Chains A and B, each alone.
Chain A
Amino acid sequence: MPDNTSPDGTKKPAGPPGAKKPAGPPGARKPTMPPGTKPPTGPSGGDGADGLTRKDFASDQDVRWCPGCGDYAILATVQRLMPELDVPKENIVFLSGIGCSGRFPYYMDTYGFHSIHGRAPAFATGLKSSRPELDVWVVTGDGDALSIGGNHLIHVLRRNVDLQILLFNNQIYGLTKGQYSPTSEQGKITKSTPYGSIDHPFNPVAVALGADASFVARTMDRDPKHLKATMKRAHDHRGAALVEIYQNCNIFNDGAFFDFTERATKAKAALFLEDGAPLTYDNGTRGVRLEGLQLKPIELTNGRWSVDDCLVYDETSQEMAQLVGRMYWQEDLPRPFGVIYREERATYDELLHTQIGGLVERRGTGDLATLFHDADTWDIS
């Protein structure tokens, strides 16, 4: 894969200086290993706060996803990412809902909470609000986040609680053995739709943008480098970061994303966004141009168009995000991957504690006896 199609994992996100979490001095991080090298295995290789490695983040529980499941790659990538985050291990918490993705916390040797169907964002909101110093990750699936938990997803995004949401989208209900999901394509034949699904599907990216998410990205299980880099950027973002991860369910929906993930078709079908770079794909031979309010694919090799005609992406532009986020099941346009939108705005947890802190400063720390007597009182002797 050409380097320019996948952001370098070590690259700092472009954006204002305040855009990142305070996570050590700039340049303190070691470069990520080139593809194919082994993950860091010791203090010299890991650059986590305590010299931890991937193995330190694996719990003693047997991983019980189906052999060949895309979840394995995601788990491995998360475990590789953790030592690089400069977050004390004990401050990391993974919360999940129900579904195959829901088992994720059991396999991480961090604090974890396997909650109930669709509700992980609610649990995470309570946890992060009351313990803002914790590093909170929500792991969810397409059914969990977008069907039963749709309400919580949109509200955690609009509130901008400072956490990361990893949405494993496999376009199927796996744990209940193969019913269509809210992201399954119309016409989908499944156990519950033998004559084809008549439901119009959600585009998770568009849902997140509609909910005013402050960070929206898409990546895939079969590109660990891009996966890790995207998660890293989500983590660097202050606020609710939604990462849609295309994840293959090899049992009930095998190959749902192969157009985007497999060597033969990936270049033509997937467009990897980079902030400040023109929208090109297919190894730079094609691009995407803005015509009026429409995005159009253009050939860059026939002399008619050049890379200068391509739309230059600005990940902080809500308008571009709306256009590009809507590149979805349009046959002539590629599917965008990478950071689709990023916006700096105050987080819920920060606002909550700023408000509390301000009131404590103004009124003094509450005193119980004063509170009890804060009314018309009378004495009886």
Chain B
Amino acid sequence: MPDATSSPPVETLTEATILFAGDSGDGMQLTGTQFTQAAAHARNDLATLPDYPAEIRAPAGTTYGVSAFQLRFGSGEIRTPGDEVDLLVAMNPAALKVHLHRVREGGALIVNANSFTERDLELAELEQNPLESGLLEGYQVFEVELTRLTQEALEHTDLSRTTVGRTKNMFALGLALWLYSRPLEPTQQWLQQKFADEPEIRDANLHVLSKGYHYGETTDAFVVRYDVAAADLAPGTYRSIRGAQAIALGLVAASKQSGLPLFYGSYPITPASDLLHELSRYKHFGVMTFQAEDEIAAAGAAVGASFGGALGVCATSGPGVALKTETIGLGVMTELPLVIIDMQRGGPSTGLPTKTEQSDLLQAVYGRNGEAPLPVLAASSPADCFDTIYEACRIATRYMTPVIFLADGYLGNGSEPWRIPDVADLPAFDVSFATTPTASNGQNDFLPYARDPDTLARPWAKPGTKGLEHRIGGLEKAHETGNVSYDPANHQRMVKLRAEKVQRVTDMMPPTPVYGDPDGALLVIGWGSTRGAIEAAVDRVRASDARVGHVHLRHVHPFPADLGPILRRFDKILVPELNNGQLIRLLRDQFTRSMTPLNKIQGQPFHAQEVEAALREALVSTPA
């Protein structure tokens, strides 16, 4: 690390929130990711939130082309990427315009002073230059000539102007790393690897990165520098993990531990494509990735693989789930394991492809023709994606059923430290296939729809198993024999059996943990990616002596069996969701309790303070 003797005094913070914002071509996601690595390297707890436009390269300089990456890191527990930003790094006027409102009063702004020409202001549809108009009063503004300083740093090279321009994010990163006293090494190592074959580019980036760092030291613009101490995390080995990575690792783990080959069918769709990218790298684990011709084929191929004894998985987003609906129904009818991952995004229709929302819950639970129940699970943080997808795979094979796993773009793209589990500590994952004819009918026949008395699962008989030749399909099945049946009483029996089988998934659920108080004035019930914001809000409200508990549901269908008794221990119930009220409908359907919704439908996650305000309001309101 460079000599810091000339540095300004260092102020120690418990946490900080930084937002990098620029054009979608400015490399802001990369800059944010590298800062994340540095914070992880310094052992901070952290949470990240990338926010990028739907267009890959929207016209440069426009507000709709702004790409941002928010990161919060600290020495205490970090649950959300932060409500308010301490430092905004804005690469152009558009980025400043879009994200200024997120910076706290007195917060810092580092702006690229070279990108505030008339043309830039025009593109951002700004009539006045915010650097001169007084708009930034109340903030600490650091005008840095990022473009010029980068060019000067690389004057000695033959690199093209465009290539030089592309490295200015490294200058910004170096400066931000200096300002928060985070290490350069992780980024340096990354650059060494990334550009191993392009030494000129590698050296240019490394040089600009250190120039940015040194700039902080040598300029007298910064009167204070910050430090954030290491977090007090549970002992273990950690890595930073994005939700999409955690899902991919969870699937590979499920495949490896069960001995079932993983077949992953997928059609490119935001924000689920990341999973396909991740898994396609794991072929040496025997992972078969299939980029299908459409959403339907992706699910169909997964069911076909499942029929053959593989772990059939497909991932998509809301519109893709709609297309897969009929195939999922076939999975319910044929009672084959299938895991459908829904990386939710704003809807309906194409909606807000890159923005987060929890609006597919009812689609997941109810969105099929006929009586077609299936278990639905939801992950609550990037790292939790690992455990939850692993659990989804266990349920699918144990109960011979499709399972829908709900996550969202916020979880998929967001990252946090993950305590790497010991492989030996992963939950047991035993799968057995039928190998002999079912003897229960006294004959040497195989009964593909005979059921396990505990789970009600039917046997899984792979093609290739001698003597167990049988036919399955979408037509109603006769109990036990699995033959096509139009018998009225049989249909009713089978509908009830399929529903009961799904209900029995509650047998393998552990007791539901209640965060905060086990009983009291208010229970908050959440699901999915809102966990961090809710827990932070519950902490704040409990600090002022309110008795508040929080249940965060991993199992959203069926509900855990102990949920009813937990509800009875609280006076009031609040249900925060990033939708127009979906979990609350499921809860009201099952429990005759008055419940208050809290709905945010803006394509953005909850801020802890929004949930906190709702909690405080609910606590003082009189029950309906």
Contact = CB atoms under 8 A, between A and B. Distances in A.
Interface of A: 59, 61, 88-93, 95-96, 98, 105-106, 108-116, 119, 121-131, 133-134, 151-152, 154-155, 352, 355-356, 359-360, 362-366, 368-369, 371-373, 375-381
Contacts of B301: 122-123, 125-126, 129
Contacts of B420: 372-373, 377
A380 B418 CA distance: 12
30 contacts: A109-B469, A111-B463, A111-B471, A113-B304, A113-B307, A113-B471, A113-B472, A113-B473, A115-B300, A115-B330, A116-B330, A123-B304, A126-B305, A126-B306, A126-B312, A133-B464, A134-B308, A151-B293, A151-B297, A154-B293, A356-B286, A356-B287, A363-B284, A366-B256, A378-B237, A378-B238, A379-B236, A380-B233, A380-B234, A380-B237
B261 A368 contact: no
A123 B300 contact: yes
Nearest to A96: B473
Contacts of A359: 283-284
A372 B421 contact: yes
A364 B43 CA distance: 32
Contact of B304 (A105, A125, A368, A375): A125
Given A122-B304, A129-B288, A376 B186 contact: yes
3 smallest CB-CB distances across A and B, nearest first, come from A114-B473, A126-B304, A126-B301
Contacts of A89: 466, 469
Contacts of B235: 380-381
Nearest to B420: A372
A122 B295 CA distance: 10
Given A116-B327, A368-B253, A130 B308 contact: yes
Contacts of A61: 483-484
B310 interface: yes
A359 B285 CA distance: 9
Contacts of A130: 261, 263, 288, 304-305, 308-310
Contacts of A126: 263, 265, 290, 300-308, 310, 312
Given A352-B288, A356-B288, A123 B307 contact: yes
Given A114-B475, A366-B252, A127 B240 contact: no
B237 A366 contact: no
Interface string B255-297: 0110001010100000000000000001111111010111011
Contact of A378 (B43, B462, B469): B43
A378 B41 CA distance: 7
Counting chain B CB atoms within 10 Å of each CB, the highest count among A131, A355, A360 belongs to: A131
Contact of B464 (A98, A114, A131): A131
B551 interface: no
B468 interface: yes
A242 B396 CA distance: 34
A116 B474 contact: yes
Contacts of A59: 471
Contacts of A124: 304
Contacts of B474: 98, 114-116
Contacts of B480: none
A168 to B, nearest CB: 17
A91 B249 contact: no
A366 to B, nearest CB: 3
B594 interface: no
B467 interface: yes
B233 to A, nearest CB: 5
Contacts of B252: 366, 368, 371
Counting chain A CB atoms within 10 Å of each CB, the highest count among B249, B421, B472, B483 belongs to: B472
Contacts of A93: 463
B40 interface: yes
Interface residues of B, number: 74
B185 to A, nearest CB: 10
B284 A365 contact: yes
Interface in B199-238: 233-238
B296 A366 contact: no
A100 to B, nearest CB: 14
A89 B469 CA distance: 8
A92 B469 CA distance: 9
Contacts of A110: 469
A105 B471 contact: yes
B471 A112 contact: yes
A23 to B, nearest CB: 17
A297 B445 CA distance: 58
Contacts of B41: 376, 378
Nearest to A153: B293
A90 B433 CA distance: 15
A121 B294 CA distance: 12
B471 A106 contact: yes
Nearest to A158: B293
Given A91-B464, A378-B238, A122 B297 contact: yes
A215 to B, nearest CB: 20
Contacts of A378: 40-41, 43, 237-239
Contact of A377 (B238, B263, B483): B238
A91 to B, nearest CB: 5
Given A90-B465, A119-B327, A112 B470 contact: yes
A50 to B, nearest CB: 9
Contact of B284 (A128, A352, A364, A379): A364
B455 to A, nearest CB: 23
A133 to B, nearest CB: 7
A360 to B, nearest CB: 5
A360 B284 CA distance: 5
Counting chain B CB atoms within 10 Å of each CB, the highest count among A89, A113, A377 belongs to: A113
B147 interface: no
A121 B253 CA distance: 29
A133 B464 CA distance: 9
Counting chain A CB atoms within 10 Å of each CB, the highest count among B256, B304, B466, B472 belongs to: B304
Contacts of A155: 292-293, 297
Nearest to A125: B301
B263 A369 contact: no
A180 B427 CA distance: 55
Interface string B309-338: 110100000000000001100100010000
A122 B292 contact: yes
A265 to B, nearest CB: 38
B436 to A, nearest CB: 13
B37 interface: yes
B103 interface: no
Contacts of B237: 373, 377-380
A158 to B, nearest CB: 9
Contacts of A113: 304, 307, 334, 471-473
B472 to A, nearest CB: 6
Contacts of A365: 284-286
A365 to B, nearest CB: 7
Interface string B54-71: 000000000000000000
Contact of A366 (B282, B334, B472): B282
A373 B472 CA distance: 42
B273 to A, nearest CB: 19
A220 to B, nearest CB: 27
B293 A376 contact: no
B300 A151 contact: no
B82 to A, nearest CB: 22
Nearest to A356: B283
A366 B286 CA distance: 8
Given A113-B472, A123-B301, A372-B249, A129 B40 contact: no
B284 to A, nearest CB: 4
B16 interface: no
A88 B468 CA distance: 13
B489 interface: no
B39 to A, nearest CB: 11
B241 interface: yes
B327 A380 contact: no
